[in-house]
Structure 1
């Protein structure tokens, strides 16, 4: 991670500057003893180095260890953006985010490890957002643990926002609305979730785009990120997603749940720049609008 020291940081100890960036004492210890490095203008320095205006500071985090169970696989990746800290991908449907008991290989994580090894990135996989296997669209990935830590904090503060597109069964009468209903694990299943009184707070905002025959095309914004949140909430109000057999939909029109992560906006953890990305809706969902 490269930083150019400005007048504002002139005279500051490197240790203090690093902590202002969000690098904890533990992370600094890992850099010192775990194979990382601190360089100012190409020279090795310690945390006691006094920063000078114009210094080019390079903070190198230790190489990350990849789990032996996460094998690299040459899976095509649709990369929308990449720098040294973050990566934004457009995930295709029928691709798991991470390996699971049902799908132990062929996940996005396996593809990322292969890509990292091919490009010389010594990192493991840090998914900031996840999508269900059948859900397509934009996902945010951190390329090192520090970026992941910062993005997780930004996410909790609402600075990582996602907008989804879905087609649901039935005609929604309202033009827009908010579903504020707690979600928890269904006692009879290790997979299925449900709206339950003692569940975690979950809030989904929806807006109707169009009504097509017996279906409704909606855009959805999430305030929270509970497992299966959109699927559970839309089923809860009587409009399950097309193709979502787990939550009351059927596959008469599409062979997967008709859900797509269409837009992603976030504050870059290092540059503090606001970033926005969009992934086109796949053909199998678009054809529902024309049915």
Structure 2
């Protein structure tokens, strides 16, 4: 499918320097864009790749690439917290999968997001990260392949900061701390993870923001992104997330555990502005 995005140059540079150095796109993608003569004036005239453009110069990037293949589901409500022409940040309810695992799985958040964007003329929607089915909160979704490639790199380089809020059992004594404990698969349970010396490095930072004798509210930052990392680490230090019976918490009346990705922060890769989106706290 065809994509078209308008770009304003943040500094004096050539189009090739923008794609290679500023956006750090892969050689294959840059070659594809070059072969398609994708860098154009607003009127559609191809621009030389080695011609420097001044700060504030505006170009169009017109190219063809594969769209997304999600089944569009109008039954999945979508709550956008931020949206522009490059990406959208939506809220995921607890108990809903982020994305389908096979073609028969059509009631995930991404099925809803794809319908939401497809109905507005965007045939592309790809999540940059994911949230566990039982975790609620903010999900970043790219609206075109270039944004996806750039945001993927930013996530890998820890330039996208996601903050979680959790209610855990018991009163934590320390006001803040760091948990460094490798995480691996649990051979006794197909979906559970556990702290293991032979697992992958996992580092979690937490800060207490509220407490009473029965529970503690913490804000959590992940230095690594292992499956179930917050859940495993909180249980490991004796404070499982409330309602998370998979990791030893006591059963509660509600069916979901108390973990939410409530804030996401990063520097906008196309405008340089700070994106700071937060679900209001109660």
Deviates most, 196-205 or 183-192: 183-192
TM-score where L is the length of structure 2: 0.87
Does the 8 A contact of 1:41 with 1:55 survive in 2?
no
Q: Give the match for residue 249 of structure 2.
A: 249
Of 2, 14, 28 in structure 1, the residue corresponding to residue 6 of structure 2 is: 2
After TM superposition, give the deviation of residue 89 of structure 1 in Å. Answer: 1.1
Does the 8 A contact of 2:41 with 2:47 survive in 1?
no
Does the 8 A contact of 1:5 with 1:51 survive in 2?
no
Q: Give the match for residue 121 of structure 2.
A: 120
**Counterpart-to-counterpart distance in 2, 1:73 and 1:263:** 26
**Counterpart-to-counterpart distance in 1, 2:223 and 2:90:** 22
After TM superposition, give the deviation of residue 279 of structure 1 in Å. Answer: 0.8
**Which digits, 9 at most, give the CA deviation of each residue in 1:71-111, with x for residues without a partner?**
1101211101111212111212222101236x923111101
Change in 2 beyond 3 A, CA 1:48/1:136: closer
Q: Give the match for residue 94 of structure 2.
A: 93
Does the 8 A contact of 2:90 with 2:138 survive in 1?
yes
Pairing 1:260–2:264 present: no
Gaps of 5+ in 1: 287-291
Change in 2 beyond 3 A, CA 1:44/1:25: farther
Change in 2 beyond 3 A, CA 1:7/1:240: closer
Query: What is the alpha-carbon root mean square deviation over aligned residues?
Result: 2.4
What is the DSSP-based 3-state SS (H/G/I as helix, E as strand, rest coil) of the residue aligned with 1:119? coil
After TM superposition, give the deviation of residue 257 of structure 1 in Å. Answer: 0.9
Change in 2 beyond 3 A, CA 1:84/1:127: same
Gaps of 5+ in 2: none
Of 27, 30, 39 in structure 1, the residue corresponding to residue 29 of structure 2 is: 27
What is the DSSP-based 3-state SS (H/G/I as helix, E as strand, rest coil) of the residue aligned with 1:227? coil
